[in-house]
Each structure stands twice: as structure tokens, then as C-alpha cells.
Amino acid sequence: MKFTIKKDLLLDALNKVSRAISTKNLIPVLAGIKFELKKKKLTLTASDNDITIQTSIESNNDENFKIENEGSIIIQGKYILDIVRKLPDKYINIEVVDELKILIYTENSEFNLNGISESEYPNIGLEESKKKVNVNASVFKTIVNQTAFASSNEESKLVLTGINFNIVGDVLECNSTDSYRLARKVVKLDKESEENYNIVIPSHNIVEFCKILSDDDEIVELHIFNNKILFKTGNLKFESRLINGTYPNTSNLLPDDSLLVVSTKLADFYDVIDRVSILTSDKEKNIVTLETTDDWLILRSSSAEIGRVEEKMPIIKNNSENIKISFSAKYMMEALKSFSTETVDIHFVGEIKPILIKSSEDTTLTQLVLPIRTY
């Protein structure tokens, strides 16, 4: 294998696939990146058995990517990434000599690395389904940004560490919950799915995929199997395991009626909560108390060791009811941050009932935060 490639092209590909490399993996070969050069295309593959990432670079045999000899080899991921990143040259030469010796050189630099035979790399098919589901790439990123934060970090609640994708016809419903809050996003697909799906994708994995999605990508293809999902866009493939188990029916958590609906400017509400939570003593729960009057929304927090704070802001109410309720400032702020609207509607059902956050400017998104008893 021997080729010359523009540094930026190779570095971009390495930055993508290196996200699948784990130094803690018990299989040493998975610390490497598989380089496969054939049919005028360089394909890079990396995997940690949980996710697999593959991308490719086409050669037009111009100065950006010239191929002299085809071949395959495994190169230690950490070292090839650091070398390519730190070399100042515009073009880099990579050559395999003596079967498993890798020569990486430019005009003034030369690195010699030990490689691993491609035969030692696991057989990773990255197969595609005949019944793919297409989602607009920007919509896909928005879905993940608006839901992933609400998933659980506790491995004891394994099914809740993922995002539930429920596809029926041309409707995609995504839910994420850690039992204390819920994020729901419902979008309409451009085309009906040939099959219905109800799957749970690990949140961490899907967030990693979104990090390497390009702004130029238009469509994300979802290829869904019994125990895995393949995301494909352009020359990028990203495969993740699915989480086994039945996702809870979160619709039961969403109340049909509200005692009171308060409308307010999102940025103002967020900033008031942020300021009031400064004096909370427990940074995990950081409890604040909300109370409404006829024209005002009052937020308070206090700590015996620190002090107390109170701030009010004007609101619009849908009726004359009032409420007093406490909640986690952290959870409420994260829910609010998921909206890109100017205003939000806060739906109150009761003092110990879930709080719903919606917006008439974006009916596809619903956030729910459970209250906290303070007595």
C-alpha cells in the first residue's frame, strides 16, 4: 500500500473514525484503525464493539490523493491521528514496507510504525437494510439535541439510558426520560416507513454520531435490524448496538388537562431561574420554588447556610387560578434550553403533578419536569 494524500482530507476522516476507538478495549487490534485502499478509494474503519464508524475518501488521482499501490493494514489509532494532526505539511505520504511496517513521511519528517495484519481485524459487515428510513439531517440533529439530555446515566436503568425511536407510518416519535423528566419530539417524515419500529438507541452513541455529521449532509438513512442500527449519510457509516428491553409508555406521564397555563418569554424565564438557583445549597437538586399571583410569577430559593433570594417577573395566565410548586432548577433549565422559540407555555396540573413545557411556536416538542416535595 502506498499513497500521497492532502493532510486535511486524511485528518478529517481520522477525526471521525477515531471516536470509535477505546483504549480500554480488551481486544488490542480494536485500538487500531483499518486502512483499506482499493478501487481508487481509501476506506477507514474503527470499532470498539459498541459502535463502528467507517468513512471513505475517493481518489481522482490528482494532487489531493494519488494512489501508487493498493493494500490493507491496521495502524494504531492514537499514533496515526497525532502524527497527521501535528505534521505541518500540506501533503503526507503513507507506505507499507516489509508487510507490516508503516512509513509515514513528508519532505522533512519520517515516522516508522508497526502495523497489524488486516486478517486480525474482526469481520465488520456494516450491512444496509432494503427498508431504510430517511430523516432530514438537520432535523435529526435537532431531535437528538432536544431529547438526549433527559436520558438516564444509571446503568441499573439500562433501557432509560437510550432514546426511544418509535416509527409508525410517516411519524417519528422520540422519547427520552430518566424517570424525573421527559423529553418528547414528534416529527413527520417525508415518506412513510415500510415497517413500524420501536427501538432504543444508546444516547451516548447517537450523540457521538451527531458530532461527526457534516453541515453539508442532507439525509440520514436509518437501517434498522434486531440488535443494531446503521446510520448512513454521504460517505459516512455509523453503526450502534440497540438496547434490549421494553421502553416504558411515556404517554401515561403527559396529563390531558391543565389547572393553569402561564405564558412567558423563554430567555427571561431561563435567566430568572439561573439567578435564583445561585443560592441553592444542593447543586444536584438545586430546588427552586415557583408561585403565581394574578400578574406575577415569583421564584424563590433559600439555604440555611447561604441565605435566600426572591425574584419576580410579569406573566400572562389563561385563567385566575394560582399555584405554588417546587422543582429542580437544573432540570427546568435544561428543558428550556431545548427550545429555540421566543416564548414558552408552562402547564401546571397540580402542586405534586408533572410540569409541562410547550410552545405554540413549535408544537413538535414537549418537555416534562416532575415537581419536588419540599414539606
Q: Does residue 375 sit within a domain?
A: no
- Residues 138 and 241 grouped into a single domain: yes
State whether 217 and 309 are in the same domain: no
Q: Residue 57 falls within a domain, yes or no?
A: yes
Return all residues near 369 (Cβ < 8 A) that are at least 6 apart.
180, 181, 327, 328, 331, 332, 335, 354, 355, 357
| CA–CA separation, 73 and 192 (whole Å) | 42
Same domain assignment for residues 196 and 241? yes
Cβ atoms of residues 222 and 231 within 8 Å? yes
Whether residues 296 and 364 share a domain: the answer is yes
Domain count, the chain: 3
Burial class (CB in 10 A: 0-12, 13-18, 19+), 185: buried
For residue 375, the model assigns a pLDDT of: 65
Domain endpoint, select from 250, 276, 292 = 250
- Contact partners, residue 88, CB within 8 Å, separation at least 6: none
Q: Which domain holds residue 9?
A: 2-120
Contact 285, 328 (CB under 8 A): yes
Strand 2-6 and strand 91-97: the pairing is antiparallel
Q: Are residues 79 and 144 in the same domain?
A: no
Same domain, 294 and 337: yes
Final residue of a structural domain among 183, 215, 250: 250
Would residue 84 count as lying in a domain?
yes
HEC-encoded secondary structure of 235-288: CEEEEEECCCCCCCCHHHHCCCCCCEEEEEEHHHHHHHHHHHHHHCCCCCCCEE
Same domain, 91 and 67: yes
Rg (C-alpha) for the chain, rounded Å, is 26
Same domain? 225 vs 294: no
245 and 264 share one domain: no
Q: Is residue 128 part of a domain?
A: no
- Establish if 55 belongs to a structural domain: yes
Residues 280 and 245 reside in one and the same domain: no
Domain end among 250, 273, 298: 250
Task: Decide: 338 and 309 in contact? Cβ < 8 Å.
Answer: no
The answer for 204, left when phi > 0, alpha when psi is -120 to 50, beta otherwise, is alpha
Please tell me the distance from the alpha carbon of residue 363 to that of residue 296, in angstroms, as a whole number: 26
Residue 15 lies inside a defined structural domain of this protein: yes
Judge whether 153 lies within some domain.
yes
Tens place of pLDDT per residue across the chain (375 aa): 999 999 999 999 999 999 999 877 778 899 999 999 999 999 999 999 999 999 999 998 788 999 999 999 999 999 999 999 999 999 999 999 988 999 999 999 999 999 999 999 999 889 999 999 999 999 999 999 999 999 999 989 999 999 999 999 999 999 999 999 999 999 999 999 999 999 999 999 999 999 999 888 899 999 999 999 999 999 999 999 999 999 999 988 888 889 999 999 999 999 999 999 998 766 656 899 999 999 999 999 988 888 999 999 999 999 999 999 999 999 999 999 999 999 999 999 999 999 999 999 999 999 999 999 886
Residue 284 is predicted with a pLDDT of: 58
Q: The domain spanning residue 354 has which CATH number?
A: 3.10.150.10
> Are 311 and 269 contacting, i.e. CB atoms less than 8 angstroms apart?
no
Tell me if 289 is assigned to some domain. yes
Same domain? 235 vs 290: no
- Claim to verify: residue 245 and residue 145 sit in the same structural domain: yes
